[in-house]
Structure 1
Amino acid sequence: MVDGPAIDLYVSTPPEHLNLVAQLLRDQGWERVRLFAVENRGRDLAPFLVQLLPSALRGGHEFFVKVHTKRSTHLGDGERWADHLTRSLLSTAAVRDCVERLQRNPKLGLLAPAGTLMPCSVALHANAQHLLALHQRCGANAAAMLQQRFIAGTMMAGRLAAVRHMSELGLQLADFEPEHGQTDGTLAHALERWLCCGATNQGWLLEELPGEACAVPGFGYGRPNDLQLRYS
């Protein structure tokens, strides 16, 4: 359990796991928890958009940390990558560091684990159709997206104001593809990029946290350190 700033915990789990997760949270001593049962579709982003984000916005929170279970079995080092993402965000020191960074810079919107800021052009061909639909839905400039970056893995810290635009898309759980172990090309994969593009379009800054990026896969583009995709 994170021991530091006061935390309200928002959790989603498939309905068949609800009782087990509820007991686990009680056993760990979490006092301020909102638990939602959400069908297993749309990866982490469907529950985030449909339940967690709207509830957190109603709660009036300023900052957030978003993490999720992640296997990435199609990647040779998927477990190492997942461990890097969660360790970058969930330790007491990491939470305090994120809060301090956000408090120091009111224009800072999202904080990414080291090495996870990627060009939106990575694997663009697989996600182009969904991304074009999102840009048309929001009246955004699709060409500008090619110059932007996204947080690979969708684990991050930031301001809720920087992701409020996601709740305005009007998406429902039924809009997401059923879970069949897809590795790319779904609405959830497109929203992984759109989350950051929308924040950037509204003037929010993205920043990488310090740390080693060697656990981050290259996604066929190259590893972040090799490509010098490190931003200050």
Structure 2
Amino acid sequence: MRGVERGAALSVIHVDTPGRYIVEVVLKDRRMPFIRMNVCLGAHPDRVIFVPCARRTIYLLESTERGLVLQLDGRDVLTASIRPWRISDLGAILRQRRRQKRFQLSLLDQSPGHRVVLRPLLYSSGSDGRELATALRGVASWGFGPASDNLQKTLARYFDGPPILAPERAPTAEPKIAVALHLHYAELWPEFEALLEAIERPFQLILTLTHPNPALAERVRATFPGSEVLVYDNRGRDVGPFVQLLREGRLDGFDLICKLHGKKSGMSGSRMVLGEIWRLASVFDLIGSRDVVDRIVAEFDRSPDIGMIGSRRFQLPNEWKDEAAAWSVNKAMTLDLLATMGIASNRLSYFAGTMFWVRRSALEPLRRLNLSLASFPDEEGQQDGTLQHALERVFGMICPKIKGVGWDDDVEMDPQKPTNSSDRVSGSGHLERGARPSAGGAPNVSS
């Protein structure tokens, strides 16, 4: 074992001999509790993995391999250390062993006789570590476990930006598109601004806020001329303003509407992590690049029976949330709303978080309910059981068919179709760096 090398760009951990090691990493202040780790090992392909990391985290590293090199982003790391495992570490390793094992990550594609695993000992990493453990259990219940493709791909997109070689895809139609974006947290605008600029096709932006913000309104209109910036009372979360837009006729005349919002689930702690992952994964799946948007628009054109398209990661029920969990306490109110619209179906399928693309025509039954912003309860931090939670389910159930998609879905490409590199979207590196990215770059999501 050679230890740790520090540089401006990287902190490099060398493990020359097989064995068990204790790794300790202390991070600088940052919002997302994950760090990028590059894993390099001889003839094995290099691998990138995103590792849970609290302010100070202890890890158990077990390796059967020689010449293992782990590279961490030196801009994030305050200190890093490694030492051989000692008998005095046994208490930390055994403490809540079964619960800590769920956070374990394989750093090497498993093959007989080869094993390199990293286990964050979060319950032995102070109060921040224990809080992160709670957060990871929460996101895992939505299908975003530490080693899952859902989480690893979402974090890759977050840290690295869109693919450098996003293929050009000519749209099959040019529908009239509205983007209805609700921001209670105005500081999230740069994140959405960068992604919307990268769409590079015509749309009308309708931004709703809960407080007047002249500086933001000026910036929005400068970037997206002709956009509307409206201020509504803070009722019904993101659903109330959307219903009010529908009532006022502001969504009329459009073929497709992309409904987005600056979802957060708390300003700190375990719910904050869930909210950040939820928002990022949903937004990447819906407007993650020009190619993502073109594929969604083409799917609407190909399939007239599809009324709504959203993130497949949050289409409920699914393998992580069964029908009972998907209904929660909202079944009676949801079915009452459907009955009032004359819709008898109780087929439950919807996009949790109410971010989606929808045909304007599919919303007509909802408009006939004659709801307005005043129909929603005062904001009191309700987590379930309100009109907005029932409508979250109604949106999907009024459509004859809905479809879940992902930015990372494999799609068949025409090998004969040329690409135009000037139209490609490129990444701009780490999302949490201070400078505002260009239109094609990765958004800054710090708040």
- Check whether TM > 0.5: yes
Give the alignment partner of residue 399 of structure 2, picking from 199, 208, 232.
Answer: 199
Give the alignment partner of residue 260 of structure 2, picking from 59, 62, 67.
Answer: 67
Match of 1:228 in 2: none
User: Shift of the alpha carbon at 1:50?
Assistant: 0.8
**1:122 pairs with 2:325:** yes
Task: Return closer, same or farther for 1:81/1:57 CA change in 2, 3 Å cut-off.
Answer: closer
The CA distance in 2 between the partners of 1:115 and 1:162, in whole Å, is 22
User: Shift of the alpha carbon at 1:75?
Assistant: 6.4
How many residue pairs get aligned? The number is: 203
CA contact (8 A) 2:377 2:386 kept: yes
Match of 1:44 in 2: 238
Task: Give runs of aligned pairs for residues 92-171 of structure 1, distance below 5 A.
Answer: 92-119=290-317, 121-141=324-344, 144-145=345-346, 147-171=347-371
Report the 3-state secondary structure (helix = DSSP H, G, I; strand = E; otherwise coil) of the residue aligned with 1:67.
strand
Give me the identity figure in percent.
28
CA contact (8 A) 1:4 1:96 kept: no
Deviations 1:82-128 (A, max 9, x none): 10111111222211111111111111111111222103643534213
Letter in 2 for 1:210: G
Report the 3-state secondary structure (helix = DSSP H, G, I; strand = E; otherwise coil) of the residue aligned with 1:31.
coil
Deviations 1:45-87 (A, max 9, x none): 11001125743433x1111211011002346522011101111
CA contact (8 A) 1:111 1:209 kept: yes
Deviations 1:145-175 (A, max 9, x none): 1x32111111111311112222221012121
Give the alignment partner of residue 9 of structure 1, picking from 194, 202, 205.
Answer: 205
The CA distance in 1 between the partners of 2:369 and 2:283, in whole Å, is 27
Match of 1:35 in 2: 229
Deviations 1:7-40 (A, max 9, x none): 11111111x334243123034x111212221101
Task: Give runs of aligned pairs for residues 173-184 of structure 1, distance below 5 A.
Answer: 173-184=373-384
Match of 2:22 in 1: none
The CA distance in 2 between the partners of 1:79 and 1:46, in whole Å, is 22
CA contact (8 A) 2:246 2:367 kept: no
The CA distance in 2 between the partners of 1:188 and 1:133, in whole Å, is 14
Task: Return closer, same or farther for 1:210/1:173 CA change in 2, 3 Å cut-off.
Answer: closer
Give 5+ residue unaligned stretches, structure 1.
214-232
Report the 3-state secondary structure (helix = DSSP H, G, I; strand = E; otherwise coil) of the residue aligned with 2:202.
coil
The CA distance in 1 between the partners of 2:278 and 2:221, in whole Å, is 28
TM-score for both structures, normalised by structure 2: 0.42
If asked which structure has higher relative contact order (CA below 8 Å, sep 6+), I would say: 1
CA contact (8 A) 1:112 1:207 kept: yes
The CA distance in 2 between the partners of 1:108 and 1:53, in whole Å, is 23
The CA distance in 2 between the partners of 1:107 and 1:160, in whole Å, is 13
Task: Return closer, same or farther for 1:52/1:87 CA change in 2, 3 Å cut-off.
Answer: farther
The CA distance in 2 between the partners of 1:82 and 1:54, in whole Å, is 27
TM-score for both structures, normalised by structure 1: 0.79
Letter in 1 for 2:200: G
User: Shift of the alpha carbon at 1:133?
Assistant: 3.1
CA RMSD, 1 decimal: 2.2
Letter in 2 for 1:172: S
Q: Which of the two has greater strand per residue? A: 2
